[in-house]
Structure 1
């Protein structure tokens, strides 16, 4: 799919998701129908190496439904990162199968998970429990990060959703991102073959090596995708609030106007929120550009260059997070008390934003930026930056 076609399709999918977003959130069912919508649209097959397009598509879909935008953004991320590992043949076959069979990909890779891989003969046995396994309950292929039983290395293993021994406890009932299927996943002696191992990383591997620096872009990819989802939430919230203001809001008697859209306080309020959104959008696009350039450098990427990209992503994450929580709350000041009715669904934007902004502590992103500003040092490589 061409980039322009992908963007056009994403707009149509977002509108389709927006139409019944409130009803679907209230029902709180696994997003199987939503994944089928992504399959039918062709968006799952967008080139995962084209970060500008995948990030734009992620943001557009997130404006219609942040949970589904989140799932789609991670799908692209996992397909992209597959090519960074050792098993090139498996990475290629995954991309082929995604296009040919319209597969959806998810992963369990929380740094705090306790999933182990035990090798024996020609098989690898995976056991353990993973938390916040976004999309795994509805994915066709799962990327599993597991520590070898002897703790000498870590594996990234690809398993099929239908593999025996995989279960998904119904424990995702959180404040927001309710349709992101981000509950737990349990592996009980799940069998995989040597050809299913995407990559292996020895314990104590030199973190200054070109291979490691390149692999460390994965943590930046997660942050850049979440930034685009947050900006999409603001876009969706302002569009929905503006629609409500035009069609349902009543002017305050003291305003002296007959329509809410003519109330000067409402106009100023939307003006501030629009300015904040523009700033967040520009920073998110700058983060995507910096990330794409770092990725394009391949194994020639230096730790300093990687650090500069991390700063761009952190700046965008800080501003998009603050904008998302602020804008999704302030829209109620512009729509009025009746907009707090459950039927309006405007609360979903704040709930989604608040949930996503707790993915990892934002203060550490701000600390990285402050350290760089005062000392010139680039951020260290971590699981979250």
Structure 2
């Protein structure tokens, strides 16, 4: 679904969709001005916090709303349609907290979820796979962490962080949680990109940050098996979230452009009609874009179902189930990338030259799409799909697949 209620939504789910719609209306009301001001997104995170959305996926027994990913995906699309940066922040918050469940530390996860509900905590991560890993040096009472990561979406406005680094004595990759306000963590404020300007995706430097063993989620499994398969869901989850953001951005661009066309676009002199909304070329243009967005949304929904099935398998997750989810997510990533880049470009042909004025901010959808779709090369996702067709091999387990 791109904007409408799920046909079988339960009353509690309907409530949260209404909350998401209200948050989206608030964000859309000054989206252009906020994006042009390019300030740190603290007010935006506060809006999510006050709306109660941060604990949407926290179990009810831990004080949260107790909902699952299908509802979260719908909420995410609504908010991303209004402001892709805020959708990015919310999706990553949910996933960083959720992925603590992939480790064998249920006690720690329970504590983190309870604290998140009680204190309305906002989460982010520091785990860019392509950066040189942070170095964790054993101290006898824990670890000392030093190093730098180039991209850490939301970290500078977060309350807590999920961090991955490499133990310098053993080479083990460890994942831990830490207070984002630790005095040894320095946020570089160097995110100055074309789009996703309010996603707070700048670099982070760790200077002798101390980590206690109680805050370590665990190490990356060295052998293939259930634990390794389960932890390998993390990169798939991020890829799925990106595909959801693509659909949300496309829907936001379409609805914003449609509103402009209805209210402002003048009929072209050669069209033979008085109103742009009666021009068959305009009608066909909007109809074609709508169909493509809905098709992408359906494919992303199918990928989400495959991911949910893999996650539900727990420690019994096998390579084939994981592989099928990876393949579906790669398919969703390829199609949603093509669709969002096409939609955010072609809406200008339907709105007209006057719609390029900065005060309308229609370009923000294209800039956001162009930026976020470059997160990792989509051609490699297409190659994964082709390899499966020709050889039967599923996508390999990497930091991006």
Per the normalisation by structure 2, the TM-score is 0.93
Deviation at 1:196, TM superposition (A): 1.1
Deviations along 1:269-297, one digit per CA (max 9) or x if unpaired, are 00110010010010111111110011001
1:155 matched to 2:174 = yes
Question: Unaligned stretches of 5+ in structure 1?
Answer: none
Deviation at 1:87, TM superposition (A): 2.4
Q: Which residue of 2 aligns with 1:168?
A: 187
Q: Which residue of 2 aligns with 1:4?
A: 14
1:89 matched to 2:107 = yes
Distance 1:125 1:88 in 2: 24
Distance 1:141 1:350 in 2: 31
Distance 1:341 1:219 in 2: 38
Match of 1:183 among 202, 216, 224: 202
Deviating above 4 A after TM superposition, structure 1's stretches of 4 or more consecutive aligned residues are none
Q: Which residue of 2 aligns with 1:226?
A: 242
Deviation at 1:151, TM superposition (A): 4.2
What SS does the corresponding residue of 1:83 show, helix, strand or coil? helix
Give matches, 1:94-243, under 5 Å: 94-114=112-132, 115-201=134-220, 205-206=222-223, 208-243=224-259
Match of 1:26 among 36, 39, 48: 36
**RMSD (Å), alpha carbons:** 1.2
Distance 1:95 1:55 in 2: 19
1:43 matched to 2:53 = yes
Q: Which residue of 2 aligns with 1:70?
A: 88
Match of 1:359 among 375, 393, 401: 375
Give matches, 1:205-354, under 5 Å: 205-206=222-223, 208-354=224-370
Distance 2:387 2:291 in 1: 27
What SS does the corresponding residue of 2:220 show, helix, strand or coil? strand
What SS does the corresponding residue of 1:2 show, helix, strand or coil? helix
Deviation at 1:198, TM superposition (A): 1.3
Deviations along 1:307-366, one digit per CA (max 9) or x if unpaired, are 111111111111100000000000000000001111110000000001111000101110
Distance 1:152 1:371 in 2: 32
Question: Unaligned stretches of 5+ in structure 2?
Answer: 1-10, 59-66
Distance 1:323 1:105 in 2: 30
